[in-house]
Chains A and B, each alone.
Chain A
Amino acid sequence: MSPAASDHSRAGPLLEEIRRLAATLHREVRIMEVCGTHTVSIRRAGLRSLLPENVRLISGPGCPVCVTPAGYIDLALSLLDRPGLILATFGDMLKVPGACGQALASRLGSGRLRILYSPAELPSLARGTDAPVVFLGVGFEATAPTVAAAFLQAAREGIANLFLYAAFKTVPPALRALLSDPQIRLDAFLLPGHVSAVLGLEPYRFLEEAGGLPGAVTGFEPLDLLEGILALLRQLSAGRRRVENAYARVVRPEGNPRARQVLAELLEPEDALWRGLGIIAGSGLGLRERYRGFDAAARFGLPAMWNSEPAGCGCARVLLGRLAPEDCPLFGRACTPESPIGPCMVSSEGSCSAAFRFGEARA
């Protein structure tokens, strides 16, 4: 990201054009972002209050921690009941409560919970112990190749005590699910930046078919987001339905074939359970047959994960854009980032957390 891309003086003409086009549309335009980093950038920059009244930005299921079912946390916690087992995770999973109400953070004192900045740390972590090391594989197509690279390295080094508990999700099947839900009325998608850097544009082409919607791959700076929104309004104004790349300095049309190759060597599509969306066919990533030795669920006999929402928590509906964070009865009262009830308030990329921290007048 170029530092100059955050230059505010350049936003004026973009906003002018957005206002001009929005005025010609004479209706409410609902644009969903499906990337937690977009959600935070939009809120931090206060973009919602800069946009015309009839352009609404709606946060979708783009926060990886938020779309992870509560039952996954319970099963991860159950792994720590095994003597000696070390659980490795990204830090954003720590505070998410499981169906039991407990979060991984409650076991920080055990000395067997390792917070990783990068999966690249996994091979050396496993080499340094005889105990089993289980990594919580949570994330989308930008994260999955990094985890795959680490596990393939472990495979090359013959490391036998490293395991993957996979709960990866993939974006295009979730977009299809959103399109097919008659209760979710959307006009366009802002498509994720890093996920698209890996995928390229082809996996989104179904958006151009009948029943699809305009899409624009967008970066994370306020100017990038405005450019993406403008690209979508231009399409809507012209009655077009295309997948556009408004982040060409990072995203190539063909994506990153090497990253996809690494991912596909270790992982293959499988059905996955999402918080809010339920089971979506082919929307997860599981270990291929020849790497099943890494499978924590098989090795430790973990049952299928399940969904469970804390009482009164609107996270599952917030993830679908059916409920604005501010309209949840718990928001800002019983549920705050300091004392969160659901994952949308726990994760720094969650819609509720972003709405609370960077609150704006208009949701």
Chain B
Amino acid sequence: MRVARLLPEGKALVRQDKLETVVDTSLVENVRVGDHLIIHAGYAIEILDAAEAEERLALFDEMAARAPRQDSP
């Protein structure tokens, strides 16, 4: 879920699609608005590395482009 707003006392308002909830961010450092948080039991436990996620998907796409065409996976 993405951080929509930072709140007092180490909390953050997060949003995904039309869902909004408040999570505790005291277990992670340097949370910013727009960060995608990995949430476990109401606490952010990590911040998604967006660049790494993009790179991984690009790698999959490259594999798909190299593979022979087929109708179903």
Contact = CB atoms under 8 A, between A and B. Distances in A.
B48 to A, nearest CB: 6
Interface string B28-48: 110000000010111101101
B61 interface: yes
Most buried by B among A9, A12, A117: A12
A90 B41 contact: yes
- The 9 A-B residue pairs with the shortest CB-CB distance, nearest first, are A118-B42, A12-B73, A13-B63, A10-B60, A13-B67, A249-B53, A146-B43, A249-B52, A146-B41
Interface string A260-296: 0010000000000000000000000000000000000
Nearest to B69: A12
Contacts of A194: 38, 40, 45
Contacts of B61: 10
A197 interface: yes
A14 B62 CA distance: 11
A16 interface: yes
B57 A2 contact: yes
A197 B46 contact: yes
A79 B26 CA distance: 31
Interface residues of B, number: 29
Interface of A: 1-2, 4-5, 7-17, 90, 117-121, 139, 142-143, 145-147, 149, 194, 197-198, 223, 248-252, 256, 258-259, 262
A258 B27 contact: yes
A150 to B, nearest CB: 8
Contact of A258 (B28, B60, B72): B28
A259 to B, nearest CB: 4
B19 interface: no
Nearest to B68: A16
Nearest to B29: A258
B14 to A, nearest CB: 13
Contacts of B26: 149, 262
